[in-house]
Structure 1
Amino acid sequence: MKMIFYLFLGSICGLITGLFPGIHPNNIIALSFLISPYLKEGYPFFLISLVVTHYFINFIPSAILGVPDDETSASVLPMHRLTLEGRAYEAIFLAGLGSYLGVVFSLIISFVIILLSLDINLFYKSIKFLLPIILILFIIHQLLSAKNIYDILTIFLSGIFGIIVFYLNPSFNITLTAVFTGMFGIPLLLNNILGSKKFVDQSFNKVKLKFGYLKSSFFSSLLGFIRIFLPAVSGAQLNFILGKIIKEEDIENFLISQGSIVLSNEVFSLLAIFFIGTGRSGTAKALENLDLNINILLISVLIASTLSFLLLINLSKYLILYLKKVNLKFLSIFFIILCSLIIIFGSLNYGLIYHIVIYLTSICIGLIAIRGNLSNMINVLTFPTILMLVIG
């Protein structure tokens, strides 16, 4: 019963943080250490539930306002598109369902690995050489698919910018937040200001479930597993690769896939403690030195995900109905100010002027990209990752 209490407490905190764009989970973890002495043995369950719930609930601002973090940026544009068609609830439900399925498949895959006593490090060595080749091929695909000069500019500007920020200079959590909020978030919020004053009327039709969702979620979870060997690769990059494999025209299936990879990333990042001896996320690093049984970890993740999914589908209905009464322009201005303040205060100890320049440059690239294909901005991570994998 104590575990359930701490998981519930973590869900409440994750609910609050998930609703505010620009807050990175690793920043939350740093603050959570302040209350860890009071939670004692319940701290691991609180932390797991907080982060899992944060990622589930974060789909709400991603869909309604179009402000992502580094994990959800690939799914923001399809979600925002459905919102403009009056299908915000469907977009949030599908992303949430994909996330829940991703957790379930991740746990199944983990159980098989444990049962068969597979040598994970040997598997890593056999696939490591493939990733830079795949990333280069997708850049070539982007260039061949470019529809206008803005697409080509976005590919190279974001890529060169990424090399400068993430390869040639030290980066922090606030650096990622500044880049992704500036590129993917602020331009869409500016569009909201220039557009309609009210949200598009939304429908709440029952979402039709398809068997194909299971297949998409399973393969997405496998990609989430591969990520534990590639710390230089973000969830957004894997989302981008998957989006090219699973055609974006099938927007519902795409959202299932994106939701799955976001949560499977987090689950396998935690399980990396047991599989390869080190965690692959801020949450995992915080749990590394704590005495946590893998079976208890798996159970707590499943319970936290169930609570989070139920919170997501019920809260999103209420918020979508409430937002009909809100002036979209004022709300967008509020979140532009909020995101900017988060960048300013979050970078006080990490080079304030440097991060303001990064933030403003990211916004400029985003404003160029909005005239073409916004997904091309993912090269801000792809270019430096290729260099890290090839050169080191």
Structure 2
Amino acid sequence: MFAEMLFFAAAGIFFGVVFGLVPGLHPNTIILFTPVIVSVISNPLYAVAFLVSMGISNVIIDFIPSIILGAPDAEKELAVLPGHSFLLQGRGYGAVKLCVTGAVLSMILCVALLPLIVLAVPLLYALIKEYVWLILVFAVSFIILSGDKMLLSLACFVFSGLIGVFVFRLPINPVMVLFPVLSGLFGVSMIFFSSGQKIPGQRMSDIEISSRARNRSAVAGTLGGIVSGFLPGLGSSQVASFMSVDKSKESFLVSMGAISLSNLFLSLISLWLIEKSRSGVAVAISYVSPVGFKEFLLIVSVSLLSLGVSCILALFIAGKFSLLVGKIDYRVMSMAVAVLIVFMSFVFTGFYGLFVLFVCTSLGIFANAAGVRRGLLMGVLIVPTILYFIY
């Protein structure tokens, strides 16, 4: 049984790597294939090991296209910005390593605090579940009022929110609809501005950050990831902008890695703690097996195994990508990524998706040109979430 468990965990890591590297593929889409998984993997525990390892490995690997290619995942759209800045300085590999470091430190902290998390999460959930929309309103108000261009910021937030209300009414699979939305707001729009830039040769060196700042960012990010698990619509990137302790790009990326990992880990163990599914992977697990204490222990152990293997793979792949991106014409590569995003938007969401991609790209370009904090464009998710809780 142990050998079989390792096999399915390894298979999950493989698919997590594939989903992480290809723009448009995300483990949340595994929900569509859950009946196939159940029919192929007869033992529910093996299926749980497969799904957990796939989710964890994807969190780690997905920083590579987010930073080096500028093709963001639904949770890492703002990691594109500081990550791309480091890429232009020849330090894309170091940016990925900061994210990986944050994820590793977050997992260590989560495991160390697991008894406290087990006790606190059900209490915290019961305390705030009726006030989620108020917390979201406060968070957005803080972001808008703390910026320099309040009217433009408010306009971008409101318009992105209207897009969010509109797109979820289109005849598009809800699992896939976020791909053209987020790719337009944060991917293609960034490519529009950066395609003329020349990417320098990349250095396989670390980005310096003090141990104190690194550890504080990881702790803050871990706590932020736990909190964001209770705030649908407020993604990892937005929480990272709050939780970065010194507001530097280095601290942001460490916090981003910590938040992404702790958010997913919380969503997995929440299946046992509060019997709620907080991610696509968690939903798939709830379909294949009830989660009791035995499954809880399996989730924790497989998460640790998958994280260790995935970190090694991520640094290896990031190194290869970094060397490659410095040797090719970045304009050509950027256009190729943009064409791939357009193609996959059509494959996944049809002509409706292409229209959504065009509208969201236009808004992303406007926000960039106006100097608006692009995190406000996440109104596309936050506004529908607020309306859901109110009505």
- TM-score interval, normalised by the smaller of the two chains: 0.7 to 0.9
- Correspondence 1:58 to 2:58: no
SS in 1 for 2:36: coil
Alignment of 1:193-342 (within 5 A): 193=195, 195-196=196-197, 198-208=198-208, 210-230=211-231, 232-236=232-236, 239-246=237-244, 249-288=247-286, 289-290=288-289, 293-342=295-344
- Match of 1:383, as an amino acid? V
Q: Deviation of residue 136 (structure 1)?
A: 2.6
Deviation per CA, 1:63-86, whole angstroms, max 9, x where unpaired?
Answer: 112111111112221111111122
Q: Indicate the residue corresponding to 1:384 in structure 2.
A: 384
> TM-score, length-normalised on structure 2?
0.87
> TM-score, length-normalised on structure 1?
0.87
Distance 1:360 1:206, change over 3 A: closer
Query: Contact 1:24/1:173 (CA < 8 Å) preserved in 2?
Result: no
- Match of 2:284, as an amino acid? A
Q: Deviation of residue 382 (structure 1)?
A: 2.4
Q: Which runs of 5+ in 2 are unaligned?
A: none
Query: Contact 2:213/2:245 (CA < 8 Å) preserved in 1?
Result: no
Query: Contact 2:216/2:245 (CA < 8 Å) preserved in 1?
Result: no
Greater shift in the superposed pair: 248-257 or 364-373: 248-257
- Match of 1:369, as an amino acid? A
Deviation per CA, 1:268-295, whole angstroms, max 9, x where unpaired?
Answer: 1111110012322221122124265211
- Correspondence 1:132 to 2:128: no
Q: Indicate the residue corresponding to 2:4 in structure 1.
A: 2
- Correspondence 1:160 to 2:162: yes
Q: Which of 30, 50, 70 in structure 1 is aligned with 2:74?
A: 70
Query: Contact 1:167/1:388 (CA < 8 Å) preserved in 2?
Result: no
CA RMSD of aligned residues (A): 2.6
- Match of 1:318, as an amino acid? K
- Match of 2:315, as an amino acid? I
SS in 2 for 1:226: helix
Q: What percentage of aligned pairs have identical amino acids?
A: 28
Deviation per CA, 1:166-194, whole angstroms, max 9, x where unpaired?
Answer: 5899871211112101110001222343x
- Match of 2:161, as an amino acid? G
Q: What is the number of equivalent residue pairs in this alignment?
A: 379
- Correspondence 1:48 to 2:48: no
- Match of 2:70, as an amino acid? G
Distance 1:212 1:192, change over 3 A: closer
Q: Deviation of residue 36 (structure 1)?
A: 4.8
Q: Deviation of residue 244 (structure 1)?
A: 3.0
Greater shift in the superposed pair: 83-92 or 207-216: 207-216
Q: Deviation of residue 366 (structure 1)?
A: 0.7
- Match of 2:86, as an amino acid? L
- In structure 1, C-alpha distance between the alignment counterparts of 2:247 and 2:37, rounded to whole Å: 46
Q: Indicate the residue corresponding to 1:34 in structure 2.
A: 36
Q: Deviation of residue 19 (structure 1)?
A: 0.9
Deviation per CA, 1:92-136, whole angstroms, max 9, x where unpaired?
Answer: 00111112222232333333344xxx3744432323455434433
Distance 1:151 1:33, change over 3 A: same
Distance 1:382 1:229, change over 3 A: closer
Q: Which runs of 5+ in 1 are unaligned?
A: none
- Match of 1:378, as an amino acid? M
Q: Deviation of residue 323 (structure 1)?
A: 2.0
Deviation per CA, 1:185-219, whole angstroms, max 9, x where unpaired?
Answer: 001222343x13x5222222234451332232223
- In structure 1, C-alpha distance between the alignment counterparts of 2:223 and 2:169, rounded to whole Å: 27
Query: Contact 2:72/2:183 (CA < 8 Å) preserved in 1?
Result: yes
- In structure 2, C-alpha distance between the alignment counterparts of 1:91 and 1:287, rounded to whole Å: 32
Q: Which of 84, 91, 109 in structure 1 is aligned with 2:88?
A: 84
- Match of 1:290, as an amino acid? S
